[in-house]
Amino acid sequence: MIEVLSVEIEGGFNAICAPEEICRGAIEGHRAISALYVAGNRSRVIGKVRGKLNVRRAFTVHQLIEILLESYEEAIFVEHDALIFEECDFPTLKDLIMLLRQIGTERTVFYFTCCRDRVFDLITKMADRYVYVERDVNGYYIADVSCNGFRQLFCPKSAQLTLEAFPG
Protein backbone atom coordinates (compact mmCIF):
# COMPACT_ATOMS: atom_id res chain seq x y z
CA MET A 1 0.00 0.00 0.00
CA ILE A 2 1.13 3.54 -0.71
CA GLU A 3 -0.38 6.39 1.23
CA VAL A 4 -0.14 9.84 -0.32
CA LEU A 5 -1.44 12.20 2.32
CA SER A 6 -4.91 10.70 2.80
CA VAL A 7 -5.02 8.67 -0.44
CA GLU A 8 -4.32 4.95 -0.09
CA ILE A 9 -2.95 3.05 -3.08
CA GLU A 10 -2.56 -0.73 -3.14
CA GLY A 11 -0.10 -2.19 -5.65
CA GLY A 12 -0.29 -1.56 -9.37
CA PHE A 13 1.26 1.00 -11.66
CA ASN A 14 0.79 4.38 -10.03
CA ALA A 15 1.73 7.79 -11.46
CA ILE A 16 2.16 10.59 -8.95
CA CYS A 17 2.83 14.28 -9.51
CA ALA A 18 3.56 15.99 -6.21
CA PRO A 19 5.87 18.50 -4.52
CA GLU A 20 9.34 17.23 -3.57
CA GLU A 21 8.56 16.83 0.13
CA ILE A 22 5.58 14.60 -0.64
CA CYS A 23 7.57 12.38 -3.03
CA ARG A 24 10.51 12.21 -0.63
CA GLY A 25 8.20 11.27 2.26
CA ALA A 26 6.67 8.42 0.24
CA ILE A 27 10.07 7.01 -0.59
CA GLU A 28 11.47 7.36 2.94
CA GLY A 29 8.34 5.86 4.46
CA HIS A 30 8.28 2.67 2.41
CA ARG A 31 8.25 -0.56 4.38
CA ALA A 32 8.83 -3.03 1.61
CA ILE A 33 11.45 -5.71 2.23
CA SER A 34 13.30 -4.44 -0.85
CA ALA A 35 12.96 -1.25 -2.89
CA LEU A 36 14.50 0.05 -6.09
CA TYR A 37 14.90 3.73 -6.90
CA VAL A 38 15.58 4.61 -10.54
CA ALA A 39 16.66 8.15 -11.37
CA GLY A 40 17.49 9.65 -14.74
CA ASN A 41 20.09 12.22 -15.77
CA ARG A 42 19.10 14.53 -12.96
CA SER A 43 17.11 14.00 -9.80
CA ARG A 44 15.25 16.50 -7.66
CA VAL A 45 14.61 13.99 -4.89
CA ILE A 46 17.24 11.25 -4.47
CA GLY A 47 19.98 13.46 -2.99
CA LYS A 48 17.73 14.27 -0.03
CA VAL A 49 16.26 10.80 0.57
CA ARG A 50 17.31 8.76 3.58
CA GLY A 51 16.66 5.08 3.84
CA LYS A 52 17.65 1.75 2.39
CA LEU A 53 17.17 1.67 -1.38
CA ASN A 54 18.86 0.03 -4.32
CA VAL A 55 19.64 3.07 -6.50
CA ARG A 56 20.17 2.86 -10.26
CA ARG A 57 20.44 5.51 -12.96
CA ALA A 58 18.93 5.33 -16.43
CA PHE A 59 20.27 7.77 -19.01
CA THR A 60 18.03 6.48 -21.83
CA VAL A 61 14.62 4.84 -22.07
CA HIS A 62 16.33 1.62 -23.18
CA GLN A 63 18.44 1.61 -20.00
CA LEU A 64 15.30 2.21 -17.92
CA ILE A 65 13.58 -0.74 -19.60
CA GLU A 66 16.61 -2.95 -18.97
CA ILE A 67 16.78 -1.94 -15.29
CA LEU A 68 13.07 -2.68 -14.87
CA LEU A 69 13.39 -6.06 -16.60
CA GLU A 70 16.19 -7.02 -14.18
CA SER A 71 14.37 -5.71 -11.09
CA TYR A 72 13.17 -8.02 -8.35
CA GLU A 73 12.29 -5.51 -5.61
CA GLU A 74 8.81 -5.33 -4.08
CA ALA A 75 8.54 -1.55 -4.43
CA ILE A 76 9.88 0.29 -7.45
CA PHE A 77 10.26 4.08 -7.41
CA VAL A 78 10.94 5.65 -10.80
CA GLU A 79 11.62 9.37 -10.91
CA HIS A 80 10.47 10.78 -14.25
CA ASP A 81 13.19 12.58 -16.22
CA ALA A 82 12.09 14.25 -19.45
CA LEU A 83 15.67 14.19 -20.80
CA ILE A 84 15.71 10.42 -21.26
CA PHE A 85 12.75 10.68 -23.65
CA GLU A 86 14.36 13.17 -26.07
CA GLU A 87 15.44 10.49 -28.56
CA CYS A 88 12.61 8.10 -27.77
CA ASP A 89 10.20 6.95 -30.46
CA PHE A 90 6.56 6.15 -29.72
CA PRO A 91 6.87 2.31 -29.94
CA THR A 92 9.67 2.39 -27.32
CA LEU A 93 7.62 4.65 -25.04
CA LYS A 94 4.67 2.28 -25.44
CA ASP A 95 6.93 -0.68 -24.52
CA LEU A 96 8.02 1.15 -21.35
CA ILE A 97 4.44 1.89 -20.34
CA MET A 98 3.36 -1.72 -20.96
CA LEU A 99 6.31 -2.96 -18.88
CA LEU A 100 5.37 -0.63 -16.01
CA ARG A 101 1.81 -1.96 -16.17
CA GLN A 102 3.04 -5.58 -16.26
CA ILE A 103 5.34 -5.10 -13.25
CA GLY A 104 2.46 -3.39 -11.44
CA THR A 105 0.39 -6.58 -11.62
CA GLU A 106 2.73 -8.21 -9.07
CA ARG A 107 4.48 -5.32 -7.31
CA THR A 108 4.04 -1.66 -6.47
CA VAL A 109 5.32 0.78 -9.09
CA PHE A 110 5.56 4.42 -7.98
CA TYR A 111 6.31 6.47 -11.12
CA PHE A 112 6.59 10.07 -9.99
CA THR A 113 7.59 13.61 -10.85
CA CYS A 114 7.65 16.97 -9.16
CA CYS A 115 7.08 18.74 -12.48
CA ARG A 116 4.68 17.52 -15.18
CA ASP A 117 5.48 17.52 -18.89
CA ARG A 118 3.84 16.06 -22.02
CA VAL A 119 5.54 12.67 -21.74
CA PHE A 120 4.57 12.29 -18.08
CA ASP A 121 0.98 13.27 -18.96
CA LEU A 122 0.92 10.57 -21.65
CA ILE A 123 2.25 7.98 -19.19
CA THR A 124 -0.47 8.90 -16.65
CA LYS A 125 -3.15 7.98 -19.18
CA MET A 126 -2.01 4.34 -19.01
CA ALA A 127 -1.42 4.14 -15.24
CA ASP A 128 -3.74 2.18 -12.97
CA ARG A 129 -3.93 5.26 -10.80
CA TYR A 130 -2.88 8.89 -11.09
CA VAL A 131 -2.54 11.09 -8.02
CA TYR A 132 -1.90 14.80 -8.47
CA VAL A 133 -0.89 16.83 -5.41
CA GLU A 134 -0.62 20.60 -5.57
CA ARG A 135 0.72 22.77 -2.76
CA ASP A 136 -1.64 25.49 -1.56
CA VAL A 137 -1.12 28.21 1.04
CA ASN A 138 -3.21 26.32 3.60
CA GLY A 139 -2.34 22.73 2.65
CA TYR A 140 -2.43 20.38 -0.32
CA TYR A 141 -5.05 19.91 -3.04
CA ILE A 142 -5.24 16.26 -4.12
CA ALA A 143 -6.82 14.83 -7.28
CA ASP A 144 -7.08 11.03 -7.31
CA VAL A 145 -7.97 9.36 -10.62
CA SER A 146 -8.37 5.58 -10.93
CA CYS A 147 -10.68 2.98 -12.43
CA ASN A 148 -12.91 3.68 -9.42
CA GLY A 149 -13.46 7.25 -10.55
CA PHE A 150 -12.23 10.70 -9.60
CA ARG A 151 -11.90 12.11 -6.09
CA GLN A 152 -10.86 15.58 -4.98
CA LEU A 153 -9.50 16.14 -1.50
CA PHE A 154 -7.89 18.89 0.50
CA CYS A 155 -5.36 18.12 3.22
CA PRO A 156 -4.70 21.05 5.58
CA LYS A 157 -1.09 21.79 6.50
CA SER A 158 -1.87 21.10 10.14
CA ALA A 159 -2.57 17.46 9.25
CA GLN A 160 0.24 14.94 9.63
CA LEU A 161 1.95 14.15 6.32
CA THR A 162 2.45 10.40 6.11
CA LEU A 163 3.32 8.59 2.93
CA GLU A 164 4.18 4.95 3.15
CA ALA A 165 4.75 2.31 0.47
CA PHE A 166 4.12 -1.37 1.14
CA PRO A 167 4.10 -4.31 -1.23
CA GLY A 168 0.68 -4.91 -2.77
H or E element: which one contains 59? none
Residue 30, pLDDT score: 76
110: Cβ contacts below 8 Å, ≥ 6 apart: 2, 14, 16, 26, 27, 75, 76, 77, 78, 165
Look at residue 93 in the predicted model and tell me its pLDDT. Answer: 94
Asked whether residue 61 is domain-assigned, the answer is yes
Q: Which domain holds residue 67?
A: 2-156
| Domains identified in the chain, total number | 1
pLDDT band at 3; cut points 50, 70, 90: low
Q: What is the pLDDT of residues 31-48, one digit of tens each?
A: 778 889 999 888 767 666
* 164 within domain boundaries: no
pTM for this entry: 0.85
Residue 96 lies in a domain: yes
pLDDT digits (tens, 9 = 90+) for 123-159: 999 999 999 999 888 888 988 888 788 888 888 876 5
* CATH code: domain of residue 36: 3.40.50.300
Cβ atoms 27, 18 nearer than 8 A: no
Contact 125, 118 (CB under 8 A): no
Answer yes or no: is 131 within a domain. Answer: yes
The pLDDT value recorded for residue 9 is 64
Closest CA to 130 of 70, 72, 80: 80
Residues 6+ apart with CB under 8 A from 85: 61, 93, 119
**167 domain-assigned:** no
Sort 62 into a burial class: Cβ within 10 Å, 0-12 / 13-18 / 19+. middle
135 domain-assigned: yes
pLDDT of residue 161: 47
